[in-house]
Amino acid sequence: MERKDIPQGLKWNPTDIFPSDEAWDEEYKKVVAEYGEYDFDVFKGKLSQKKDLLECFTLMDTVSRRLEKLYLYAHLHHDSDMRVAKYTSSYAMVAGLISKIFARFSFVDPELTELPDEVLQGFIKDPDFAAYEYRLRRIAAGKAHVLSEAEETLLALSSDVMRGFQEVHTMLNNANLNLPKATLHGEETQMSHGLYGVALRSGAVEERKEWFEKYYQAYINLIDTITSAYSGNVKKDVFYKTVRKYESCKAMALDGEDVDPIVYENLIEAVHSSLSYMHEYIALRKEVLGFEEQHMYDINVPLVENTEIKLPFAEAYELVIEGLAPLGKDYQDLLRHGKEARWIDVCENEGKRCGAYSAGIYDVHPYVLLNYQETTNDIFTIAHEMGHALHTYKSAETQPYAKADYTIFLAEIASTVNEVLLLKHLYNKSEDKQLKKSLLNYYMDMFRATLFRQTQFAEFEQIAHAKAEAGEALTKESLNEAYYQLNKDYYGDGIVHDEQIAYEWARIPHFYSSFYVYKYATGIISAISIVKRILTEGEPAVQDYFTFLSSGGCTDPVSILKKAGVDLTTKAPFEAAMKEFADTLHEFKTLLD
Ligand SMILES: [Zn+2]
């Protein structure tokens, strides 16, 4: 379908940002004229003065807010129909302008780091800096890990080289992998990363085996090079943690988002000590799917066939609103408002970006891209993306600009809360046993893929880095052995641990952003605790959740979560999530004939 044939009410409305393309052009020219060549260096050397620092921060905010609006307007138009050259070029122009202007502010943080502690502490306590207080606290806390100017210059100059390991893996994983052909649904097919997932979900058993073996063989062929890349990447982390005086690579990575390392330890301990539930799930799969032997290539076969809830968008949206009733009338009203005010781009059209996302800016409102099809998954996608959108909306409404953005650590919580609430609502209201099974399967898959699997990855990263920190060489043998053992721990005896699975670490791009994936697991764990509280305690828990949604990035993420009643420095939320998985598994069993 062409975009022009889609009813206006189902398309988002970028004129809330600029009334017309001409208005965008005019503002772009103005920003270039005012700030394109602006001498931000006038603030250099003066940031110890309150007046200058306030002025500098305020100017940075002003410029950034104007750039954001330019960017989002071009971005929305570009994604609506990527064939339109005009928006491709305005999108590229504004992206270029942003990096040019922001590069000129790069002196600010290093200069603040150099300030004497008393001066920084004075600013932090000063109510005039209320909007910047957390930012200043982070700078003060980071002082211990900042080196001399000459050393910092060296580090900055070497950063490009240090990124090389990740680039090597990207090249190997894409350009050099040389995936062969394999049979899919009876036809000879060129293998690709995307089709690998399809084959493992829906191929016949011989096809799954063939894809699994050929896919892993491609990595085994390159394993020496991949080992060098991964080992280099870990050594890079050890280098930085040593020169920046961190206790460990993990502590350094977590400090990047101001997260207490105890959170990571709680996650791994709680999941590891509840692996018997995962083993029970694996046994259940074997039984339900009637496998004589269950292999690693069988793990993606759906436990039950998906029962589709087919609804036109308007009805699906009403169903989401109904499902989110536990969040209260204010939340439901905001959902209605978002739809009526045309925040959402609903349908697929020629040239439109695929997938779904929510993108927000401080001064307007969030926008949500969907490619809605009448499937159950897409109903969950509405709930998910509106979760992001309302989180952004409430934070922007409540926080000053400098504190409105929430970190990645918090980013998937509101979206998951909505999914889980909707799932429970659909489950409770349905009489259809097949649909009920299908919903529980969706939930258990979330646990398997987002909680258990990412924690397994997190544990592997911890082992690899600990070895390197202890001066042990990372070899393909030692990495394979560590991964294979984890796989056995996580999946248990109900599955054949095919030897190829030892190489799985070699294909995970996220391992080149060290200690990143645990956030997926803590996200779902936090969401489950929040849902539990809301469903058992009602109003007070909803109020706390609104406080969380309204907190943006006003302080460290673990403290923000505490406002919603989730304390990740304790074991309780982790154990509650494990119990939720066990309960779901047992509930599923009651539905079996
Ligand atoms: Zn999301």
569 band by pLDDT with thresholds 50, 70 and 90: very high
In this predicted structure, what is the pLDDT of residue 591? 94
Q: Is the pLDDT of residue 593 over 80?
A: no
Enumerate residues 6+ apart whose C-beta is below 8 A from 541: 530, 533, 534, 565
Q: How far is the CA of 216 from the centre of ligand 1 (A)?
A: 29
Q: How far is the CA of 415 from the centre of ligand 1 (A)?
A: 6
Q: How far is the CA of 448 from the centre of ligand 1 (A)?
A: 17
> Per-residue pLDDT tens for 406-455?
999 999 999 999 999 999 999 999 999 999 999 999 999 999 999 999 99
Q: How far is the CA of 385 from the centre of ligand 1 (A)?
A: 6
Contact 465, 233 (CB under 8 A): no
In this predicted structure, what is the pLDDT of residue 293? 94
Please, what is the Cα angle at 284 between 280 and 289, to 5 degrees? 155
3-state secondary structure of 368: strand
Contact 495, 294 (CB under 8 A): yes
How far, CA to CA in Å, does 522 sit from each of 263, 357, 411, 415, 569?
8, 21, 11, 13, 11
User: From the CB of residue 212, how many other CB atoms can be counted at a distance below 10 Å?
Assistant: 22
Q: How far is the CA of 467 from the centre of ligand 1 (A)?
A: 33
Q: How much is the mean pLDDT over the chain? A: 95
How far, CA to CA in Å, does 510 sit from each of 233, 454, 477, 516?
12, 10, 21, 7
C-alpha to C-alpha distance for 421 and 379, rounded to whole angstroms: 13
Q: How far is the CA of 582 from the centre of ligand 1 (A)?
A: 25
In this predicted structure, what is the pLDDT of residue 157? 85
Name the residue type at position 407: T
Q: How far is the CA of 159 from the centre of ligand 1 (A)?
A: 30
Q: Is the pLDDT of residue 4 over 80?
A: yes
Tokens of 145: 């890990």
How far, CA to CA in Å, does 435 sit from each of 299, 303, 591?
21, 13, 11
C-alpha to C-alpha distance for 554 and 477, rounded to whole angstroms: 45
Q: How far is the CA of 414 from the centre of ligand 1 (A)?
A: 9
**Which superfamily is assigned to 3-146 in CATH?**
Oligopeptidase f, N-terminal domain (1.20.140.70)
Q: How far is the CA of 516 from the centre of ligand 1 (A)?
A: 15
> Per-residue pLDDT tens for 293-333?
999 999 999 999 888 999 999 999 999 999 999 999 999 99
Tokens of 107: 């002196």
Predicted structure pTM score: 0.94
Q: Which residue has the tokens 């040389």?
A: 178
Contact 448, 271 (CB under 8 A): no
Q: How far is the CA of 549 from the centre of ligand 1 (A)?
A: 15
Name the residue type at position 259: V
Contact 271, 574 (CB under 8 A): yes
Report long-range pairs for 555-564 (Cβ below 8 Å, ≥24 apart): 555/134, 556/258, 556/259, 557/257, 557/258, 557/259, 557/406, 557/407, 557/409, 557/410, 558/258, 558/259, 558/260, 558/263, 560/406, 560/410, 561/410, 561/413, 561/526, 564/526, 564/530, 564/533
Query: What is the full DSSP assignment across 271-320?
Result: HHHTHHHHHHHHHHHHHHHT-SS-BGGGTTS-SSPPPP----HHHHHHHH
Q: How far is the CA of 411 from the centre of ligand 1 (A)?
A: 7
Q: How far is the CA of 412 from the centre of ligand 1 (A)?
A: 5
Strand partners, 345: 369
How do the domains of the chain map onto residue ranges?
3-146, 308-401
Q: How far is the CA of 520 from the centre of ligand 1 (A)?
A: 10
> Per-residue pLDDT tens for 117-148?
999 999 999 999 999 999 999 999 999 998 88
How far, CA to CA in Å, does 265 sit from each of 73, 110, 480?
42, 32, 23
In this predicted structure, what is the pLDDT of residue 102? 85
Active site residues: 385
Contact 321, 336 (CB under 8 A): yes
Enumerate residues 6+ apart whose C-beta is below 8 A from 506: 219, 222, 223, 226, 227, 230, 479
How far, CA to CA in Å, does 214 sit from each of 140, 146, 209, 480, 546?
52, 47, 9, 18, 49
